[in-house]
Amino acid sequence: MDPEKPEPQLRKRRAWLLWVALICLAGVAVYLISPRVTEGQAQAKKEKAASASTAATRGVPVIAATAQKGNMPVYLNGLGSVTAFNKVTVRTRVDGQLIKVAFQEGQFVKEGDLLAEIDPRPFEVQLEQAEGQMARDEAQLRNARTDLERYRVLFAQDSIPKQQLDTQASTVRQYEGNIKSDQAQIDTAKLQLFYSRITAPITGRIGLRLVDQGNMVHASDQNGLAVITQLQPIAVIFSIPADSLSQVTSKMRAGQKLPVYGYDRDLKKRLATGTLLTIDNQIDQSTGTLRFKGVFENKDLSLFPNQFVNARLLVDTKIGTTIIPTAAIQRSPQSAFVYVVKPDSTVEVRDIVTNLTEGDEASVDSGLNPGDVVVIDGIDKLQQGTKVTVRMAGPIPRG
């Protein structure tokens, strides 16, 4: 028998035993691992279920506010422009050389303050000439009056004819006329001398200088020397729809002074507070609006001529109404509604009626009571009966 023949059989037996051993080891591994995987999946399912249960118990997070009882102002809003009550272009009334400028650009001046001075010497010379002419005519008048008295005595003695006496009387009257003309010349010279000192005609703020010192100025100059604008008080002219006219006129007939508030372009900052002064006498048919004029003291100079402002005219106040944030109001094709948080932390859809909105607040006529809690944020996740977790918002600042 060949000793090398059993070798292949021995190798086959060893390979078969090796495969059996590997299969056994794999089975043991599957047996050991399978229970743990199943246990981990079960634990994950339990945690997920617990999380869902906790979320359902906790509810949808929302921000809410409490409906309050208060007073709601009723305003009429209009775009307006600040207008000065008085604006004067300072001009010279005589011709001459500008020898002095007594103001600073942008300076506040009072009525009567010296602004500029024109060379007065030509007018002083004219005054002296007029006074000299008057002195000569006065001397002639005195002499003519003396002669007239002599002629009266001689005429009484029948020494001269009546015609000579009448002629002398006419000469006296002629000289008296000359005296009046001379006085007028003196007054004219004094007036021109007075006009050589240019003073402020009104109280206000002076603008940029238009003529420099040393220039010749004339009464016919169009630009003038400077412009003075009155800033205190100042007016705001704004337009209101004509449909609101009756609301305003009824208050004015009753003698009420209606407040007017001036706001910036964004309607966020109040610039000034004034009162309604008057209403224009006709409606602008192209826009259907009416012009109103308010007066403001403008002590802090917050209003400036030609500045655009938003004017708000207070015409009424709703007393004891229910007020909620406008963010709480939702609208459907049928009505406006809000989500009201009930004591069990679920929400209820409630229809409301509102017709007045002021800034971030709205007045509710029906459907809500003071003290009701309404949702103002997180509304998109809600429906009737949804469980919520509420965080209360702070009070809305009221301007």
Residue 175 and residue 140: Cα distance in Å, rounded? Answer: 7
pLDDT band at 5 (very low <50, low <70, confident <90, very high): very low
Asked if 67 and 324 count as a contact pair (C-beta separation under 8 A), the reply is yes
Q: Is residue 219 domain-shared with residue 235, that is, in the same domain?
A: no
Does 97 fall in a domain? yes
Which of 81-90, 196-205, 221-230, 384-393 comes out lowest in average pLDDT? Answer: 384-393
Which of 25-29, 58-62, 179-183 comes out lowest in average pLDDT? Answer: 25-29
Does 110 fall in a domain? yes
SS3 359: coil
Q: Look at residues 317, 339, 356 and tell me which one is the last residue of a structural domain.
A: 317
pLDDT of residue 8: 60
Q: Is residue 109 domain-shared with residue 205, that is, in the same domain?
A: yes
Q: Is residue 139 domain-shared with residue 215, that is, in the same domain?
A: no
pLDDT of residue 290: 93
pLDDT of residue 109: 95
pLDDT surpassing 70 at residue 399: no
Q: What is the mean pLDDT of residues 125-131?
A: 95
Q: Look at residues 182, 214, 229 and tell me which one is the last residue of a structural domain.
A: 229
Return the higher-pLDDT residue of 54 and 175.
Answer: 175
Does 16 fall in a domain? no
What CATH number does residue 352 fall under?
A: 2.40.420.20
Q: Could you tell me the residue range of the domain that residue 339 belongs to? A: 61-72+320-392
R_g over Cα of the chain = 50
DSSP 8-state secondary structure symbol assigned to residue 30: H
Q: Is residue 224 domain-shared with residue 235, that is, in the same domain?
A: no
Q: Is residue 188 domain-shared with residue 133, that is, in the same domain?
A: yes
The secondary structure of 201-218, three-state, reads: CCCEEECCCCCCCCCEEC
Q: Is residue 114 domain-shared with residue 219, that is, in the same domain?
A: yes
Q: Is residue 170 domain-shared with residue 271, that is, in the same domain?
A: no
What CATH number does residue 159 fall under?
A: 1.10.287.470
Q: Is residue 91 domain-shared with residue 189, that is, in the same domain?
A: no
Q: What is the mean pLDDT of residues 343-353?
A: 90
Which of 54-58, 124-128, 232-236, 315-319 comes out lowest in average pLDDT? Answer: 54-58
Query: Distance of alpha carbon 147 from its chain centroid, rounded?
Result: 79
pLDDT of residue 4: 46
What CATH number does residue 95 fall under?
A: 2.40.50.100
pLDDT of residue 45: 58
C-alpha dihedral over 79, 81, 85, 86, to 10 degrees? -160
- Region for 88 from its dihedrals, namely left if φ exceeds 0, alpha if ψ lies in -120 to 50, beta otherwise: beta
Query: Structurally, how many domains does the chain consist of?
Result: 4
Does 44 fall in a domain? no
Q: Is residue 345 domain-shared with residue 273, that is, in the same domain?
A: no
Which of 17-21, 37-41, 204-208, 341-345 comes out lowest in average pLDDT? Answer: 37-41
Does 248 fall in a domain? yes
Residue 238 and residue 243: Cα distance in Å, rounded? Answer: 15
pLDDT band at 9 (very low <50, low <70, confident <90, very high): low
What CATH number does residue 250 fall under?
A: 2.40.30.170
Q: Burial of 66 by CB count in 10 Å (0-12 exposed, 13-18 middle, 19+ buried)?
A: middle
On average, the pLDDT of the chain sits at 86
Does 371 fall in a domain? yes
Q: Is residue 176 domain-shared with residue 292, that is, in the same domain?
A: no
Does 218 fall in a domain? yes
Q: What is the mean pLDDT of residues 300-315?
A: 94
Does 271 fall in a domain? yes
Q: Is residue 298 domain-shared with residue 342, that is, in the same domain?
A: no
Collect all residues with Cβ–Cβ distance below 8 Å to 87 and sequence separation of at least 6. Answer: 204, 227, 228, 229, 230, 305
Q: Look at residues 278, 297, 317 and tell me which one is the last residue of a structural domain.
A: 317
- Say how many C-beta atoms besides its own lie within 10 A of residue 119's C-beta: 15
Q: What is the mean pLDDT of residues 188-216?
A: 94
Residue 9 and residue 15: Cα distance in Å, rounded? Answer: 10
Q: Is residue 159 domain-shared with residue 215, that is, in the same domain?
A: no
